[in-house]
Structure 1
């Protein structure tokens, strides 16, 4: 098993139980004590877990906990890539679209290169940078402005006001969590208000969320399941979640995640190389 795959297993277990022990992970994953400790070191450097004696605990136990962009950008890379491809396939030339802040929408922005005559509205400096770096003269990128959050979203009254007068063909919304009753949520109250304004500007609303967001609940609901036209997630989503979501969103799209060179660790060395590479991202 690759370092990336091991660390995703560890993260899933931390999210599920709140803590993991090195000895249990050694038995479960069939690797050495030192390999597990290197994995925990890499995850701790990214702010994804907190190391404790004999293991690690969750850093995301509260509904207001908000990981930074760098921490989120190394999670579920293959899944986000698959979701981004499916999302970009919905975009047609000559349309006006909105992209919320987030690492999945940021990944999606890189898949819009071949689509001409786009107008893209976003509250993410990182998404805007990706789109403008491509140098297309037939593309208009509108950045809302606002106050920057730990996850690199621009939020608050300035962002909301700029969105309320807009009418967009498609809006792609990244979320912090999705869960029954709570719907699609965020840990930041200002971001929730801004994302609601972005969603209200959409003729068609698409949520992009990998399977790890399931059962995660932020403090504020952005939209309910029934308000979403399309949910694009990945094939790691549990069967019971698929069934529930298929009944409540208008359309559920399951993207097949494939481990690629971009989501796998560097082959220049065994486990340590993968950990070092991830920590540097």
Structure 2
């Protein structure tokens, strides 16, 4: 097998399983340990994988990487739907809620269209569109202005000014990642500023977030874990994350129907 073919095989294995061990590649490819390590070094230098002790893994997302709304909406659909259903149970008639941008908050919006006498504040164009498509005379929707991000959030000084004098019962905060060290984060600096203003406007902070966001860190922190009154996740959330969140947030809810 030529080096190029061998490296392509290694790359396919890494992408399929998320990581490979040098020892396994030596056995499967029938080459020496040194040959495998040279292949991994070559692939790492080209930015195609990340070398780790004893093997290699897929490249983790950068702290400023921001996938578009369409790309994110195709990920973890079952988990997001279950989380959204559970989050909707926290909203009663006659309340004011804020929904930040995100595909999980967008899923939540679909479950809130039937709630009577609801006031909704959002900086998400897709979220606002959900309510626009199902109008009610007893509903008020306020869409902030601002500069549009790849994730269809409206951010920046205009959005911040619109939110600053508002007060809501509950904020449902969509996040890019969460970790003990960095808290709830986003890859967009302007979005973090806007989201912090939403946090300040809310009496209760609820973070609906699927398990893949654990230990993902964006460039800017929106809030510390301890600021969350409720975190709603799915059954794929690892034991380590459950323990850390249970210790730090007001309440951790694991949505049913996520397996």
**Do the structures match in fold with TM over 0.5?**
yes
Give how far 1:258 is off. 4.0
| RMSD between superposed Cα atoms in Å | 2.4
- Give the aligned partner of residue 127 of structure 1: 127
- Give the aligned partner of residue 187 of structure 1: 187
Contact 2:99–2:105 (CA<8 Å) still a contact in 1?
A: yes
Give how far 1:73 is off. 0.3
Deviation per CA, 1:142-171: give whole Å up to 9, x if none.
000100001111000000111110010011
Give how far 1:134 is off. 0.7
- Aligned counterparts of 2:16 and 2:136: Cα–Cα separation in 1: 39
The higher relative CO (CA closer than 8 Å, separation ≥ 6) is in: 1
Contact 1:176–1:186 (CA<8 Å) still a contact in 2?
A: yes
- Give the aligned partner of residue 171 of structure 1: 171
Give how far 1:57 is off. 4.9
Query: Greater Rg, structure 1 or structure 2?
Result: 2
Matched length: 217
Instruction: State the SS of the aligned residue for 1:72.
Output: helix
- Give the aligned partner of residue 149 of structure 1: 149
Q: Which runs of 4+ in 1 moved over 3 A?
A: 10-14
- Give the aligned partner of residue 5 of structure 2: none
Give how far 1:135 is off. 1.7
- Aligned counterparts of 2:238 and 2:202: Cα–Cα separation in 1: 29
Give how far 1:181 is off. 1.2
Provide structure 2 residue ranges, at least 5 long, that are not aligned to the other structure.
Answer: 1-13, 29-46, 50-56
Alignment CA distance shift 1:120-1:241 (3 Å): same
- Give the aligned partner of residue 41 of structure 2: none
- Give the aligned partner of residue 81 of structure 2: 81
Deviation per CA, 1:60-93: give whole Å up to 9, x if none.
5310111110110000001000100111110010
- Give the aligned partner of residue 268 of structure 1: none
Instruction: State the SS of the aligned residue for 2:111.
Output: coil
Deviation per CA, 1:225-275: give whole Å up to 9, x if none.
11111001111000111011000001111112346xxxxxxxxxxxxxxxx
- Aligned counterparts of 2:177 and 2:102: Cα–Cα separation in 1: 12
TM-score (normalised: structure 2): 0.78
- Give the aligned partner of residue 140 of structure 2: 140
Alignment CA distance shift 1:73-1:11 (3 Å): farther
- Aligned counterparts of 1:87 and 1:57: Cα–Cα separation in 2: 32
Instruction: State the SS of the aligned residue for 2:65.
Output: coil
Please list, as runs of the form range in 1=range in 2, the aligned pairs for 1:200-215 lying within 5 A after superposition: 200-215=200-215
TM-score (normalised: structure 1): 0.72
Contact 1:81–1:257 (CA<8 Å) still a contact in 2?
A: no
- Give the aligned partner of residue 274 of structure 1: none
